[in-house]
């Protein structure tokens, strides 16, 4: 049984909930990623901010990314995987919620991130097709509920 801890990207970097959206955008650019976990001062996961959030919720609403805070972009509770969750559990959750990226939590702390590409080497061709199909059927790159 392959677990989340075995396939995740370790050391996922967070953007602080009080950091600006512009700081989040710069961090995404520098890391070459399309989303970042939002962590609070309690060092716990408070949400996810995506490049799409920056465009749709900030820029398209004529908000100033130098004034808007990353925490304002977080909606709902992020869908997460436990470090001990197996690949089938992760696949099911990603398909059910139509998400491309999932934070991995251990003892209430963020320990990594899993993307479709992290999951794919551990799936059959049929499972990969189902995952891609479920994500494409969603209207947006949802990461929270």
Residues 18-46 pLDDT 10s: 999 999 999 999 998 888 999 988 878 88
Q: What is the pLDDT of residue 68?
A: 96
Per-residue pLDDT band for 9 (boundaries 50, 70, 90) equals confident
What is the mean pLDDT of the segment spanning 72-91?
89
Contact at 8 Å (CB) between 33 and 25? no
pTM of the complete model: 0.78
What does residue 4 show for φ and ψ, rounded to 5 degrees?
-55, -40
Per-residue pLDDT band for 138 (boundaries 50, 70, 90) equals low
pLDDT in tens, 83-134: 999 998 998 998 888 888 899 999 888 899 998 888 888 888 888 788 878 8
Q: Which domains does the chain have, with CATH numbers?
A: 4-136 (3.10.580.10)
Three-class DSSP category at 20: strand
Contact at 8 Å (CB) between 15 and 36? yes
Residues 6+ away with beta carbon under 8 Å from 25: 51, 54, 65
Neighbour-count burial of 52, counting CB atoms closer than 10 A to its CB (0-12 exposed, 13-18 middle, 19+ buried): middle
Per-residue pLDDT band for 142 (boundaries 50, 70, 90) equals very low
| Whether pLDDT at 141 is above 50 | no
| Whether pLDDT at 143 is above 60 | no
Q: What is the pLDDT of residue 144?
A: 42
pLDDT in tens, 40-64: 888 788 899 989 999 999 999 999 9
């Amino acid at each position: 049984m392959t677990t989340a801890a075995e396939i995740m990207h370790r050391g996922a970097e967070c953007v602080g909930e009080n950091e600006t959206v512009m700081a989040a955008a710069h961090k995404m650019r520098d890391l070459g990623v399309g989303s970042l976990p939002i962590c609070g001062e309690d060092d716990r996961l408070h949400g996810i901010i995506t490049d799409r959030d920056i465009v749709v919720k900030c820029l398209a609403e004529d908000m100033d990314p130098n004034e808007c805070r990353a925490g304002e972009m977080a909606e709902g509770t992020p869908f997460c995987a436990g470090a001990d969750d197996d690949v089938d559990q992760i696949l099911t959750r990603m398909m059910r919620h139509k998400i491309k990226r999932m934070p991995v939590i251990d003892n209430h702390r963020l320990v990594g991130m899993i993307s479709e590409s992290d999951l794919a080497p551990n799936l059959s061709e049929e499972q990969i097709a189902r995952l891609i199909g479920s994500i494409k059927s969603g209207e947006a790159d949802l990461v929270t509920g």
